[in-house]
Amino acid sequence: MSRLMLLSGLILLGVGCASTGSTAARAGEPAMSLGQPAGEPLRIQGQSITGPTSSLLISEGFMRGRFRDKPVSLAWDYQELTGVVGSQGTRLELAEGDDMRVWGSFAGASVDIVLNEDWLYGHVAGCGYAMKRDARGFVGRRICGGPLEPDFHVAFPQALLERPLGEKAALMTLMLVNHTSTYSPSVSLDRFTRPRNITASRAP
């Protein structure tokens, strides 16, 4: 019996050390900006996202916590992302091939974005975007019913583009929703034009 108890103790100790080591490794990763301070300044470090009123944890296929003091519970696979943000439902369709496309509704806001090679374009919550990849994230144009913003920039480190599709879609959508807290749902995108050198077929 004593041998069995000793063996059980060693197994539990090994699991605890492995878990501590994993947590330490994540904590040791550099903290990076996500988006820009104009919304809520967000920082991502490993699997954690923090801000003045935000605290989110990403695990395999899930994101939970609070975003701008609203409860968040999201889950995803390789085809869709679903859940709730505050009291609003979320359902995004996901597709990845020659480009990456995310479309549907996030916290009640309409979403339709495409990442095509080095370009990110589309709309989120009535704001239109056409941005090109740079060293820090994406920079380009945004319009939200007012004057065109020709030098709009969001931080999205290269390492985040290498994450799984569902996680990447959640982070990218969260980054853009964070900057559209005030907008007109009836905003016209007639003044918004995609870059001419981008061609991408959209799914029906």
On whether residue 103 sits in a domain, the answer given is: yes
On whether residue 194 sits in a domain, the answer given is: no
Lookup: tokens for 161: 């583009």
**CA gap 133, 10 in Å, rounded:** 49
Whether residue 40 is found in the same domain as residue 64: yes
Kindly write down the DSSP assignment for every residue of 96-160, as one continuous string: ESSSEEEEEEETTEEEEEEEETTEEEEEETTEEEEEEE-SSEEEEEEESSSS-EEEEEEE--GGG
Whether residue 67 is found in the same domain as residue 134: yes
Report the pLDDT averaged over residues 194-202. 42
pLDDT given for residue 27 in this prediction: 53
Whether residue 26 is found in the same domain as residue 55: no
Query: How do strand 109-116 and strand 100-106 relate by DSSP bridges?
Result: antiparallel
Report the pLDDT averaged over residues 86-100. 94
Whether residue 141 is found in the same domain as residue 46: yes
pLDDT digits (tens, 9 = 90+) for 119-152: 999 999 889 999 999 988 999 999 998 899 999 9
pLDDT digits (tens, 9 = 90+) for 24-36: 334 567 899 999 8
On whether residue 182 sits in a domain, the answer given is: no
Q: How many domains does the chain fold into?
A: 2
Question: Helices then strands (H, E): number in the chain?
Answer: 2, 14
